[in-house]
Amino acid sequence: MYRLALNMLFGDRAKLAMLLCGLSFSALLMAQQTSVFFGIMSWTYTPVVNIRAHVWVSDPMVEQANDAKPMRDTELGRVRSVDGVAWVAPLHTSFLQARMVDGNFKLITLVGIDADSFAGAPAQITQGRIEDLRLPNTVIVDEWGAQLMGRPVKGADGKMTVVPLKPGDVFEINDIEARIVGICKVRRAFTGGPFVYTTYDRSKTYTLGARRTLSFMLAEPVAGVTPAELCDRIEKETGLKAWTTDTVIWNWSERSLAKNTFWWFWKNTGIPFSFGTAVALGLFVGIAISGQTFYSFVLENLKYFAAIKAMGASMGVLARMLIIQAVTAGLIGFGLGAGMAQAIGRVMIEKGMPPFVMFPQVLLATLALTMGISIVSAIIGIVKVSRVDAATVFRG
Amino acid sequence: MSNDHPIAVSARKVDMAFGLGEAKVTALKQADFSARRGELIMLVGPSGCGKTTLLSVIAGTLTPQAGEIEVFGQRLDGLSQEALTAFRQKNLGFVFQSFNLIPTLTVIENVMVPLLIQGMKHSLARAKAVAILEQVGLKGREESSPNALSGGQQQRVAIARALVHEPPLLICDEPTSALDKDTGAQIMQMIRDLSRSPNRCVVVVTHDFRIFRFADRIAEMEDGRISRVVDDPSTLEIQPHL
C-alpha cells in the first residue's frame, strides 16, 4: 500500500514540484544561513587559528581573542618562571592604518611575533622567508591583504585591475616604512583587516612606542603537562588569565579561547539573532508552503482517501500513507536544498566571501527540521483525512 | 430467482437522522430491507428518499441510530469502527458512481488497492489483479492511466477493483449514471453475471430505469422506508421520478 502511496505522490507532478520547492528552499535557507553563520563566527577566533601556540596568556580582564589589554613586558618573566612552562614568547596585536603607495589607507591587524623563536608565525609562507623578518622595517602580509592593498593599474582595455603586493613592495604604518619580505596564507578575520606580521620589537616602533605592547603571551608546556594544567598553574601563580587554543567547535574545553571568543560574539552582537531570524524564516516558509501544498494535495485526493477508507483501510494505514508521502517529499527536498547549499558554499569558499562552514551537525539539524516540516504537513493531512466520512463516497 | 435462497443482507427497523433541532433531517424511518444470496437487487426511489443512507448503513460506513443490520450472518449494529473497517475490508466490494479510480495510479495499481489494504504481498496482489482485469476484458490495459480509458472501461476497472478480493457483498452506487445506454447495459450484464453465485449478493442503487431489467427484485423507497418490493421488474410501472 505504501508503494502506491508514493506512486500517488509522484503521479501528481505539479503538486510534487511545488512541495519540493517549498521544502528545498526551506532546507537551503536553513543550511546555507547556518553555515554562513558558523563561517562568520569561526572568523571571530581567527587569531587563535592563525597564531599557533598551545597556551595563550593575557591580562585577567581579557574576554576574547580580539580584546587585547596590553601588559608590561615584565609579565613574560613571571610566566616563564611558572613550573611546567617550556617557553614563553611575546605577542603583539593591534589594529592600525596602513598607507599605500597611492596614498590610500587600509585598516590592518598588526601581529608582532618573537624574532628569536618566531612563535606564532603563519604556518604557510607562500612567497619569501620568515627569517627575513629579522631585516630592518620588514613585514609579511597575508594573501588577501596583498590583494586588498595592491596597486590599481589601468589595463590596455581601460579597465582598472589590481596588481597584488609582492615581496619588495613597500607601504607605511604610522609613517614608518614597511617593506614586504613575504606573503603568507592565513585565515581571514572577523575584524576585517588583513594580517601584517612583523617582529615583536618592531611592532613597538610601528605603534609609536606605546607604553604597553604585550597583548598576549604564547606559552608551551613541558612534556607531561597538558595545556589545561599549565593554564591552571599560570593563573594560580601569576594572577593572569591563561587559555587553551582548541578550536574544534564541538570539542571545546572550558578554557578554550576560541570558545570564549565565539560566545562573546554570540552574546554581544546581533549576529545570532540576524541569522537565527533567517533560519526561523526558512522554517516558517517551509511549514507554510509545504503544509499548504500538502494540504492541497490531500484535499485533491480526499475522495480517493475516502474511497480507500470505505474499502476497509484503517486510519493507521491512511496515516502511514500520508507520513510516507510527506517524509519522502521531505527527504528529496532536504537533498535538493542541502545540495544547493553545498554548491553555493563551494562558490563562497572559492571566493572566500562570505565565510562558509558546513558542519555535519548543520546538515543533521537541517534534515531534522525538514523532517519536522514534513511531519507537520503530514499531521495536517491526517487530521483532514481522519475527519472525512467514508460514507461520502456514495454522495457523488 | 428463488425465494428459497438464504438472506444475505437484512435491515430491520432502521432509523437514521442527520442534524439536530430544526435542522434535523430524518433519512431512514423504521426501514426494513432484505437481499438474498445469488440475487441482484436494486434500490430505487426519488432523490432524498434515503437510498444512499440505506446503502451506507448496509455497507457499514454509517452506523444507524436504531435497528438491526445483518450482512452474511454478521450483525453490524453495535460493532466498533475498527471492527466495521475490518468487516468492510473482507466482505464488501464497491462500485461508485464516479468510479473513484485514483488518477495518479495505473489501472492495475487501482485494482490492487483492496488486496494491499488486506496486507497481501505486492507480487501476489499484482497476479490477482492481472487475472481479474482479464476477466473484465481489460487485458493489455494494466499499465494504462485510468484517464486514458473510456467511461465504460473505467467502470470495468472499478468492477475489477470491487471484486478482486472476492467479497460476498457488492455495493453499486449508480454504476451506469456516467455511461451511455449500450455501455451501461454491458456493465449491468457483467454485474448481473457476477451476482449469480450462492455466495454473493449485489445491491445496486440507481435512477436509471433502462437497467431495471437486470434486477432480480426492485425495492422502491419513499420517505425513508421501503414502500414496495417488486419481484418481477418487468411489471414495474415507471414513475416520473425514476
Residue A209 has pLDDT above 80, yes or no: no
Looking at residue A284, its pLDDT comes to 82
Residue A55 has pLDDT above 60, yes or no: yes
Cβ separation of B61 and A310 shorter than 8 Å?
A: yes
Q: pLDDT exceeding 70 applies to what percent of chain A?
A: 99
Residue B219 has pLDDT above 80, yes or no: yes
Which chain B residues have a beta carbon less than 8 Å from that of A389? 61-62
CA A121 from chain centre, in angstroms, equals 23
Which chain B residues have a beta carbon less than 8 Å from that of A10? 104
Nearest to A8 among B82, B88, B104 (CB): B104
Looking at residue B126, its pLDDT comes to 93
With CA atoms as reference, the chain A residue closest to B112 would be A1
Of A319, A337, A312, nearest in space to A375 by CA: A319
Q: Under 8 Å CB-to-CB from B227, ≥6 apart: which residues?
A: B45, B220, B221
CA distance B17 to B189: 35
Band of pLDDT at residue A167, cut at 50, 70 and 90? very high
Of A136, A135, A139, A131, nearest in space to A109 by CA: A139
Looking at residue A19, its pLDDT comes to 85
Band of pLDDT at residue B3, cut at 50, 70 and 90? low
Q: For chain B, what are the domain ranges?
A: 7-99+168-235
With CA atoms as reference, the chain B residue closest to A1 would be B116
With b for 16 or more beta-carbon neighbours within 10 A and e for fewer, the B32-67 pattern comes to ebbbbbbbbbbbbbbeebbbbbbbbbbbbbbbbeeb
Nearest to A11 among B105, B114, B205 (CB): B105
More confident residue, B22 or B166: B166
Residue B178 has pLDDT above 80, yes or no: no
CA distance B98 to B212: 20
Name, of A113-122, B189-198, B222-231, the range with top average pLDDT.
Answer: A113-122
Read off the pLDDT of residues B117-145 as tens digits, 9 standing for 90 and up: 988 999 999 999 999 898 888 888 889 99
Could you tell me if A281 lies within 8 Å of chain B, comparing CB atoms?
no
DSSP state of B6: P
Band of pLDDT at residue B237, cut at 50, 70 and 90? low
Looking at residue A26, its pLDDT comes to 86
Dihedral of the CA atoms B126, B132, B137, B139 (nearest 10)?
A: 20
Which chain B residues have a beta carbon less than 8 Å from that of A3? 122
Average of pLDDT values for A333-362? 85
Task: Report the gap between the CA of A328 and the closest CA in chain B (Å).
Answer: 17
More confident residue, A238 or A281: A238
Looking at residue A336, its pLDDT comes to 94
Nearest to A394 among B55, B88, B89 (CB): B55
Cβ separation of A4 and B112 shorter than 8 Å?
A: yes
Assign residue A383 a region (left: φ > 0; alpha: ψ between -120 and 50; beta: otherwise): alpha
Pick the CATH number of B7-99+168-235 from 3.40.50.300, 3.40.190.10, 2.60.40.10, 3.30.470.30: 3.40.50.300
Output the CA–CA distances (angstroms, integers) from residue B196 to A109, B200, B206, B235, in the order listed.
95, 7, 20, 22
Residue B239 has pLDDT above 60, yes or no: no
Of A320, A319, A324, A329, nearest in space to A289 by CA: A329
Q: What is the pTM of this model?
A: 0.77
Which chain A residues have a beta carbon less than 8 Å from that of B166? none
Looking at residue B20, its pLDDT comes to 82
Could you tell me if A300 lies within 8 Å of chain B, comparing CB atoms?
no
Cβ separation of B100 and A304 shorter than 8 Å?
A: yes
Looking at residue B166, its pLDDT comes to 86
Looking at residue B241, its pLDDT comes to 52
Read off the pLDDT of residues B105-114 as tens digits, 9 standing for 90 and up: 999 999 999 9
Looking at residue B195, its pLDDT comes to 81
Looking at residue B4, its pLDDT comes to 67
Lowest mean pLDDT among A42-51, A202-211, A357-366, B2-11: B2-11
Looking at residue B196, its pLDDT comes to 83
Q: Which of B82, B85, B88 to mutate to test the interface with A (most CBs of A within 10 A)?
A: B85
Could you tell me if B85 lies within 8 Å of chain A, comparing CB atoms?
yes
Could you tell me if B228 lies within 8 Å of chain A, comparing CB atoms?
no
CA distance B43 to B10: 14
Read off the pLDDT of residues A280-291 as tens digits, 9 standing for 90 and up: 887 788 778 877
Band of pLDDT at residue A93, cut at 50, 70 and 90? very high
Could you tell me if A7 lies within 8 Å of chain B, comparing CB atoms?
yes
Which chain A residues have a beta carbon less than 8 Å from that of B89? 311-313
Band of pLDDT at residue A199, cut at 50, 70 and 90? very high
Residue A390 has pLDDT above 80, yes or no: no
Contact status, residue B188 vs residue B176, Cβ threshold 8 Å: yes
Cβ separation of A311 and B114 shorter than 8 Å?
A: yes
Cβ separation of B52 and A310 shorter than 8 Å?
A: no
Band of pLDDT at residue A250, cut at 50, 70 and 90? confident
Average of pLDDT values for A365-371? 89
Task: Report the gap between the CA of B4 and the closest CA in chain A (Å).
Answer: 30
Read off the pLDDT of residues B21-33 as tens digits, 9 standing for 90 and up: 777 888 898 889 9
Residue A305 has pLDDT above 60, yes or no: yes
Q: pLDDT exceeding 70 applies to what percent of chain B?
A: 95
Q: pLDDT exceeding 90 applies to what percent of chain A?
A: 44
With CA atoms as reference, the chain A residue closest to B117 would be A313
Read off the pLDDT of residues B68-90 as tens digits, 9 standing for 90 and up: 999 988 888 888 888 888 898 88
Q: Number of A to B CB contacts under 8 A, please give it.
A: 88
Cβ separation of B85 and A304 shorter than 8 Å?
A: no
The residue behind cell 434500490 is B43
With CA atoms as reference, the chain A residue closest to B58 would be A391
CA A4 from chain centre, in angstroms, equals 44
Cβ separation of A308 and B82 shorter than 8 Å?
A: no
Band of pLDDT at residue A88, cut at 50, 70 and 90? very high
Which chain B residues have a beta carbon less than 8 Å from that of A307? 94, 96, 100
Q: For chain A, what are the domain ranges?
A: 2-42+271-394, 46-246
More confident residue, A145 or A101: A145
> What's the mean per-residue pLDDT of chain A?
88
Looking at residue A310, its pLDDT comes to 87
Could you tell me if A316 lies within 8 Å of chain B, comparing CB atoms?
no
Residue B15 has pLDDT above 70, yes or no: yes
